């Protein structure tokens, strides 16, 4: 059985047994190059679930709201399982309210890989042993892995998930094709002035649509600091100072909690490399605290708990 | 004025000569998206399907200072921001984006007083369009208008026919532009090439549809809105990339005894958009907010302005992180539905 | 001044009346003499008042142009701008953009018996029309005012009650929610007091404004008493910013409350999508 078929069977079981009220997964998008989040509520609807290289959304963003109506099952890729771990540790969802369907896929398609195709002529996108097959009226073209997959997939080791109620796919650990922090290390080579100029240029494009925030499973606050208007913490204008403040603050708020899912960058309509910031923070947290989010249910949230031996580097 | 042609290699020279008299904005690629930047800032890219942003920010900037104030004791003094004084040309505008300006003009002028800062920029901006050879997968302009064959709000429009552009003027400003040295009269084979290009572009677009009448009976209680509400992230990308969206917020920036008032973009998709001071929110969930977006574009706009509030640019579809497709929503709403209970029938 | 419609006129606070523990009425005078002399407005219209440095908020014009030279607005303190306004003293400068919105169709009310039904601060927009009608007394029939609040201390415009009571052919019916020592008028909610008073709908117009729950029951009771939807008017409240039909915030269906309203008849309300 293909992963997709296994998923559908499991979803049917979960729904008909009443164990969950809804299975959050992927369905066919409006066009074969896209899939879309779907909320399956009956066993019959489970046949709408798909699993293919276009399944890019981080569905855990729906969890805090979804569990309010009852137990939920969610399809989560390895990076996304980490989000669930953090949501449980941060008391946003109860462990017993979520059935984690952990799916290990070969990788998720990088939109830029389709640049040379006539997108209206793509009929199907599927995994092949050595990459992704794009089927058009001309037949199949296979894009090799390192060109087909998103950066985060190329550095994925498919390590055993910290939590999983159902596991689908090949969970054999694999060697990453790229180092997770390769782009951060490139960035680190810039001087302080070059880094400042780089981000100033990027933030000048920001239109404050807050897509990055809305797409992030870590940004679940009922009232974001930028929306508070009783006391104005952050101005809503798109000037340089205001944009820096918004992004830097959001990075501080997600530090130690960002799993590198890349949804922020994917959602950004202006092409700002937001996941570079998130990964830079992740690397800092790893260096300072020795932990990464979502890898263990036992680790306390790094900024949620104070340990007396927490590093406190003070410039001399 | 008869049609002209300009060789592709002459475009830069032509634009540079125009840049001596006014600011020229042209499409450049930056981080995988297309933006309009002043000529010279980045390499011009004319082979794109859709720019990331519409022309909106050139007429209503994302942030615009309205006035500055300062207090001396109990007395205050205001200093208005100067009106737009410089001329601009936007080169390479898409037909859908230009056509959208007609709608925004109506919104900003239907009720007196009209939005002066917006019109000051409108009146000083010349628009040279670039018709699509290769519409994006999400484009559906043919369903809501026929801007490729009947362009709106452009002063001149260019079509890529290989090694040259075919050019037509639609206004006096446009005629003046096309009388530049780089332009030559077009020949019959050029016109034939344009026809071929247009037909190819149209073949990639959905068949014409007239939504005006169908939309007036949309079902307020359609089950599609609770469905959309489940997956919509409330991220605002659809509105911020939309050429007909015109909503804004007005905020204050205080620095002690002085400061400024500015306006900035806002969207009905944000939760706090309609939140009142005492806590009541007429659109408390994404169900109401997604419904507002669709009804506003396809129903209320027809009722109020006698034109659709959507130009089919498809950005909301391609930019939506969860693949909500407004034109599929509209097709669903146009199916016959049971009698609506949406109006207040108490 | 320019033609940028978002830039306010300057006005100086001339007088502040403490109506209740959380409500003040401000009387302001425009700084620019020419503007002040030419300024006029109709009952039901509103204004955007700025406290520079805090922001701008919507208030009805509670005064009437039949008493020229100043404008008034009543402010209940519950948010940023209202709190900032409450912190102002006489002589302070504010910004005002006015007049905005539509007005009560007072021409069509001529010769009719008027029933003003207000609750709490909802009396503020009604007061503009009320004083306008009392200043044009001969144009209107009997004027009846039903005004209620949670307690005696929550009633606004107390300094004008005598003027209203003593106006010819005018009745003032006050009510508070619960018994209070020293209170000799009616006790009960406004909608039930309305039913007790049994207004005659023939040749009458009812105008109401107050908390949403009060309006809901008042509208229902008026229909029950025989008032048609065309005989009932109210003024809607929505979050507003530009006040001139541009920023898109206050739309209900195809209408903008700031330009097509805030005054609506009940007949018009019933044709609106249920989103206010």
pLDDT at A316: 55
Q: Which residues of A touch B253 (CB under 8 A)?
A: 235, 237
User: Using the 8-state DSSP alphabet, how is residue A34 labeled?
Assistant: -
Residue C276 burial by Cβ neighbours in a 10 Å radius (0-12, 13-18, 19+): buried
Q: Could you tell me if residue B162 is inside a domain?
A: yes
Q: Which residues of C touch A230 (CB under 8 A)?
A: 79-80
Ranges of residues in chain A with a pLDDT under 50 are none
* Same domain (yes/no): B46, B195: yes
Residue B9: CB partners within 8 Å, gap ≥ 6? none
Residue ranges, comma separated, of all CATH 2.40.30.10 domains in chain C are: 9-100
Q: Could you tell me if residue B259 is inside a domain?
A: yes
pLDDT digits (tens, 9 = 90+) for A264-289: 999 999 999 999 999 999 999 999 98
Q: Could you tell me if residue B257 is inside a domain?
A: yes
For residue A230, give the 3-state DSSP assignment. coil
Token duo for residue B115: 């939005």
Q: Which residues of B touch A262 (CB under 8 A)?
A: none
Residue C208's nearest CA partner among C224, C196, C194 is: C194
The domain of B223 spans: 214-333
Q: Is C247:B266 a contact under the CB 8 Å cutoff?
A: yes
* Same domain (yes/no): B65, B181: yes
What integer best gives the mean pLDDT of chain C?
Answer: 95
Tell me the pLDDT band of B344, cut-offs 50, 70 and 90: very low
pLDDT at B49 over 80: no
Q: Which residues of B touch A62 (CB under 8 A)?
A: 230-231
pLDDT at B278: 81
Residue B294's nearest CA partner among B334, B248, B345 is: B334
| Distance between A229 CA and the closest CA of chain C, angstroms | 8
Q: Could you tell me if residue B208 is inside a domain?
A: no
Cis check: omega of the bond before C99, within 30 degrees of 0: yes
pLDDT at C194 over 70: yes
Neighbours of chain B (3+ CB pairs under 8 A): A, C
Q: What percent of chain B is predicted at pLDDT more than 90?
A: 76
Token duo for residue B96: 């859908």
Q: Could you tell me if residue B341 is inside a domain?
A: no
pLDDT at B337 over 70: no
Q: CB B233 to CB A270 under 8 A? A: no
Token duo for residue B81: 């921001």
* Same domain (yes/no): B148, B253: no
Packing angle of the helix pair B286-295, B224-231 (nearest 10 deg): 120
Q: What is the mean pLDDT of residues B9-16?
A: 95
pLDDT digits (tens, 9 = 90+) for C66-81: 999 999 999 999 889 9
Q: What is the mean pLDDT of residues C126-130?
A: 97
Domain count, chain B: 2
pLDDT digits (tens, 9 = 90+) for B236-245: 999 999 999 9
Query: What dotted CATH number matches C9-100?
Result: 2.40.30.10
pLDDT at B340 over 60: no
Q: What is the DSSP string of B236-275?
A: -HHHHT-SS---EEEEEEEETTEEEEEEEE--TTSGGGG-
pLDDT digits (tens, 9 = 90+) for B53-100: 889 999 999 999 999 999 998 899 999 988 878 999 999 999 999 999
pLDDT at C207: 97
pLDDT at A24: 98
Q: Could you tell me if residue B339 is inside a domain?
A: no
> Residue B150: how many CB atoms within 10 A of its CB?
9
pLDDT at B346: 34
Last residue of a domain, one of B148, B176, B203: B203
CB contact C53 to B (< 8 Å)? yes
CB contact B326 to A (< 8 Å)? no
Residue of A nearest to B29 (CA): A271
pLDDT at B317 over 80: yes
Residue ranges, comma separated, of all CATH 3.40.50.80 domains in chain C are: 113-235
Tell me the pLDDT band of B338, cut-offs 50, 70 and 90: low
Q: Could you tell me if residue B338 is inside a domain?
A: no
Residue of A nearest to B206 (CA): A120
Q: What is the mean pLDDT of residues C231-237?
A: 94
CB contact B247 to C (< 8 Å)? yes
Q: CB B292 to CB C275 under 8 A? A: yes
Q: Is A54:A125 a contact under the CB 8 Å cutoff?
A: yes
Q: For B323-342, b where at least 16 C-beta lie within 10 A, e where not — what string?
A: bbbbbebbebbbeeeeeeeb
**What fold characterizes domain C113-235?**
Rossmann fold (3.40.50)
Q: What percent of chain B is predicted at pLDDT more than 70?
A: 96
* Same domain (yes/no): B164, B253: no
pLDDT at C1: 46
pLDDT at B139: 92
pLDDT at B328 over 90: no
Q: Which residues of C touch B280 (CB under 8 A)?
A: 212
Tell me the pLDDT band of B345, cut-offs 50, 70 and 90: very low
pLDDT at C154: 95
* Same domain (yes/no): B225, B315: yes
pLDDT at B341 over 70: no
CA distance B258 to A76: 51
Last residue of a domain, one of B203, B227, B251: B203
Residue B271's nearest CA partner among B250, B257, B286 is: B286
| Distance between B28 CA and the closest CA of chain A, angstroms | 13
CA distance B245 to B296: 10
pLDDT at C184: 94
CA distance C242 to B276: 15
Residue of C nearest to B295 (CA): C253
CB contact C66 to B (< 8 Å)? no
| Distance between A23 CA and the closest CA of chain B, angstroms | 12
Neighbours of chain C (3+ CB pairs under 8 A): A, B
Q: Is A211:A188 a contact under the CB 8 Å cutoff?
A: no
Q: Could you tell me if residue B322 is inside a domain?
A: yes
In angstroms, the Cα distances linking B284 to A213, B270, B292, B345 are 19, 10, 12, 21
pLDDT at B214 over 80: no
User: Using the 8-state DSSP alphabet, how is residue A159 labeled?
Assistant: P
Q: What is the mean pLDDT of residues B163-181?
A: 95
* Same domain (yes/no): B179, B104: yes
pLDDT at C2: 63
pLDDT at A315: 67
Confidence (pTM): 0.93
Which helix or strand (DSSP H or E) is residue C217 part of?
helix C212-224
Residues 71-90 of C with CB under 8 A from B: 78-79, 82, 89
Last residue of a domain, one of B180, B203, B226: B203
* Same domain (yes/no): B199, B220: no
């Amino acid at each position: 059985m293909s992963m997709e078929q296994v998923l559908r069977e499991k979803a049917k079981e979960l729904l008909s047994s009443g164990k969950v009220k809804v299975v959050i997964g992927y369905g066919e998008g409006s066009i074969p190059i896209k899939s879309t989040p779907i909320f399956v509520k009956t066993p019959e609807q489970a046949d709408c679930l798909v699993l293919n290289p276009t399944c890019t959304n981080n569905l855990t963003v729906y969890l805090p709201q979804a569990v309010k109506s009852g137990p939920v099952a969610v399809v989560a890729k390895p990076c996304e399982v980490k989000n669930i771990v953090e949501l449980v540790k941060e008391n946003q969802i109860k462990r017993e309210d979520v059935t984690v369907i952990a799916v290990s896929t070969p990788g998720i398609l990088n939109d830029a890989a389709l640049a040379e195709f006539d997108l209206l002529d793509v009929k199907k996108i599927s995994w092949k042993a050595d990459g992704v097959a794009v089927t058009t009226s001309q037949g199949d073209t296979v894009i090799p892995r390192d060109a087909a997959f998103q950066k985060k997939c190329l550095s994925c080791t498919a390590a055993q998930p910290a939590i999983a109620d159902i596991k689908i796919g090949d969970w054999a650990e694999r060697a990453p094709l790229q180092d997770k922090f390769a782009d951060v290390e490139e960035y680190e080579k810039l001087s302080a002035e070059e880094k400042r100029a780089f981000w100033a240029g990027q933030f000048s494009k920001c239109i404050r649509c807050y897509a990055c925030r809305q797409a992030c499973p870590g940004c679940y606050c009922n009232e974001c600091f930028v929306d508070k208007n009783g006391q104005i913490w952050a101005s809503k204008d798109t000037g340089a100072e205001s944009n820096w403040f918004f992004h830097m603050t959001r990075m501080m708020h997600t530090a130690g909690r960002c799993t590198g899912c890349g949804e922020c960058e994917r959602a950004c309509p202006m092409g700002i490399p937001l996941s570079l910031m998130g990964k830079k923070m992740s690397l800092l947290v790893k260096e300072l605290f020795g932990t990464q989010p979502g890898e263990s249910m036992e680790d306390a949230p790094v900024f949620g708990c104070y340990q007396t031996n927490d590093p406190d580097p003070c410039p001399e | 004025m008869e049609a002209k042609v300009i060789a592709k290699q002459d475009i830069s020279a032509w634009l540079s000569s125009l840049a001596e008299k006014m600011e020229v904005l042209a499409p450049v690629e930056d981080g995988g998206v297309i933006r309009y930047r002043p000529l010279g800032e980045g390499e011009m890219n004319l082979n794109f399907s859709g720019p990331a942003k519409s022309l909106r920010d050139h007429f209503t900037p994302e942030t615009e200072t309205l006035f500055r104030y300062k207090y001396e004791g109990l007395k205050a003094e205001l200093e208005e921001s100067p009106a737009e004084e410089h001329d601009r040309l936007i080169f390479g505008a898409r037909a859908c984006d230009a056509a959208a300006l007609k709608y925004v003009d109506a919104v900003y002028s239907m009720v007196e007083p009209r939005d002066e800062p917006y019109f000051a920029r409108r009146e000083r901006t010349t628009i040279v369009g670039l018709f699509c050879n290769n519409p994006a997968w999400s484009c559906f302009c043919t369903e809501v208008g026929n801007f490729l064959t009947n362009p709106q709000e452009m002063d001149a429009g260019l079509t890529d026919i290989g090694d040259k552009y075919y050019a037509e003027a639609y206004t006096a400003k446009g005629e003046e532009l096309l009388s530049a040295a780089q332009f030559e009269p077009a020949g019959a084979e050029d016109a034939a090439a344009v026809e071929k290009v247009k037909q190819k572009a149209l073949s990639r677009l959905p068949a014409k549809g007239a939504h005006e009448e169908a939309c007036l009976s949309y079902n307020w209680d359609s089950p599609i809105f609770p469905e959309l509400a489940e997956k919509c992230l409330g991220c605002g990308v659809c509105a911020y990339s939309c050429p007909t969206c015109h909503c804004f917020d007005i905020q204050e920036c205080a620095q002690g005894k002085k400061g400024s008032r500015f306006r900035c973009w806002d969207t009905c998709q944000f939760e706090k958009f309609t939140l009142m001071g005492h806590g009541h929110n007429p659109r408390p969930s994404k169900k109401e907010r997604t419904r507002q977006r669709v009804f506003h574009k396809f129903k209320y706009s027809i009722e109020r302005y006698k034109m659709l509030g959507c130009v089919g640019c498809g950005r909301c579809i391609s930019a939506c992180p969860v693949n909500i497709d407004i034109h599929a929503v509209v097709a669903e709403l146009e199916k016959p539905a049971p009698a609506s209970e949406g109006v207040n029938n108490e | 001044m320019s033609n940028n419609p978002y830039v306010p006129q300057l006005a100086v606070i001339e007088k502040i009346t403490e109506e209740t523990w959380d409500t003040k009425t401000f009387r302001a005078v425009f700084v620019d003499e020419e503007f002040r002399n030419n300024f006029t407005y109709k009952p039901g219209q509103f204004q955007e008042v700025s406290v520079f440095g805090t922001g701008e908020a919507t208030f009805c014009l509670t005064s009437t142009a039949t008493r020229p030279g100043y404008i008034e607005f009543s402010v209940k303190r519950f948010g940023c701008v209202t709190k900032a306004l409450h912190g102002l003293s006489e002589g302070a400068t504010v910004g005002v953009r006015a007049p905005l919105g539509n007005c009560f169709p007072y021409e069509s009310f001529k010769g009719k018996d008027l029933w003003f039904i207000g609750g709490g601060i909802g009396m503020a927009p009604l007061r503009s029309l009320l004083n306008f009608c009392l200043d044009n007394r001969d144009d209107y029939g009997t004027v009846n005012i039903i005004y209620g609040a949670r307690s005696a201390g929550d009633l606004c415009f107390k300094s004008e009650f005598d003027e209203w009571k003593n106006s010819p052919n005018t009745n003032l019916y006050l009510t508070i929610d619960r018994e209070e020592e020293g209170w000799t008028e009616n006790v009960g909610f406004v909608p039930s007091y309305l039913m007790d008073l049994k207004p005659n709908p023939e040749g009458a117009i009812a105008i109401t404004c107050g908390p949403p729950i009060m309006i809901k029951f008042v509208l229902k009771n008026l229909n029950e008493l025989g008032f048609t939807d065309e005989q009932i008017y109210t003024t809607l409240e929505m979050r507003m910013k530009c006040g001139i039909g541009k920023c898109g915030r206050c739309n209900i269906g195809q209408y903008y409350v700031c330009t097509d309203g805030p005054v609506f008849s009940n007949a018009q309300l019933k044709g609106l999508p249920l989103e206010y």
